[in-house]
Each structure stands twice: as C-alpha cells, then as structure tokens.
C-alpha cells in the first residue's frame, strides 16, 4: 500500500548514561544521521532536564528525528520520521543507533498516511466500543 511517510519508533536500552545526558553530542549525532540519509536539516532544538535527561529534535524538510533520554536508566526513546523514502528513514535510524551503541533495541516501522486504507468511524472518547491498540511487549 502506498503511504506518505515512514516512521521508525525505537526503544534503546543499555546506552552510556554520559552520552544520553549530553545534549550537544546527541544533536550532533542526529544531524549527521539526517545528512547521511540525504535529509534536509532545517532546524534543531534541545532541552536539558535537571538533574539529567535530554529531549532533542532535528526538523528536516522531510519531517523529523527526535530523542528523549533517561540517563539514569540507560534508556532513550527514538523517533525517525521521513516522507522521503523508506531507505532514508532506516539509514538515519541506523546511523543514530550505531553511534549510541545500545545493548538492547526494540523497533517498529509504521507506514504513515496510508492512502489506500479504508477509513472507519471512530466513536467519541468515553463511549462504549472505543479502543486503543497497544503494542504488546
């Protein structure tokens, strides 16, 4: 089915806490990954939490790369979303993971904007029959 974008969502564990708490290093890794994937970097933004942790986003013309870290757990939540093509999305993801060197990874890829799917009505929140699908661990 044809889609508008590819969204890689990853759970990274066992990452060096010093790396996960270094906002400048994280943004550098993500910008380099975007460029290696042929994505066009438009802007970057980071936020350093106290006492530790970082949120960092690289906005690309094709969408975004985002990471949120919990150094105390060696954990990072990573999103790579690109409307360019599937290969560039995976390239950016692989470059980031290669630099972060996690001991464990859980990853899924979602095709976004599926143009050929059937749209089903969604009941309003709170009404019987409303369901949210959850990924099983």
Q: What amino acid positions are annotated as catalytic residues?
A: 63, 68, 83
Phi and psi at 135, nearest 5°, equal: -70, 135
Of 36, 39, 4, nearest in space to 116 by CA: 4
Q: Which residues, at least 6 apart from 104, have a Cβ–Cβ distance to it below 8 Å? A: 12, 13, 14
Distance CA 32, CA 23 (A): 14
The residue written with tokens 């933004």 in the block is: 45
> Structure tokens of 31?
């910008």
CA distances from 36 to 61, 87, 97, 116, 126 (A): 15, 11, 13, 31, 45
């Amino acid at each position: 089915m044809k889609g508008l974008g590819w969204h890689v969502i990853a759970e990274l564990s066992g990452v060096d806490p010093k790396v996960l708490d270094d906002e400048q290093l994280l943004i550098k890794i993500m910008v380099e990954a975007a460029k290696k994937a042929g994505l066009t970097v438009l802007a970057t933004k980071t936020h350093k939490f106290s006492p530790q942790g970082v949120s960092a986003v690289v906005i690309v013309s094709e969408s975004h790369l985002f990471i949120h870290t919990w150094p105390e757990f060696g954990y990072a939540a990573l999103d790579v979303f690109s409307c360019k093509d599937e290969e560039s999305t995976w390239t950016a993801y692989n470059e980031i993971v290669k630099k972060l060197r996690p001991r464990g990874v859980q990853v899924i890829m979602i095709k976004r904007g599926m143009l050929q799917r059937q749209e089903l009505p969604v009941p309003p929140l709170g009404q019987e029959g409303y369901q949210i699908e959850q990924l099983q661990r």
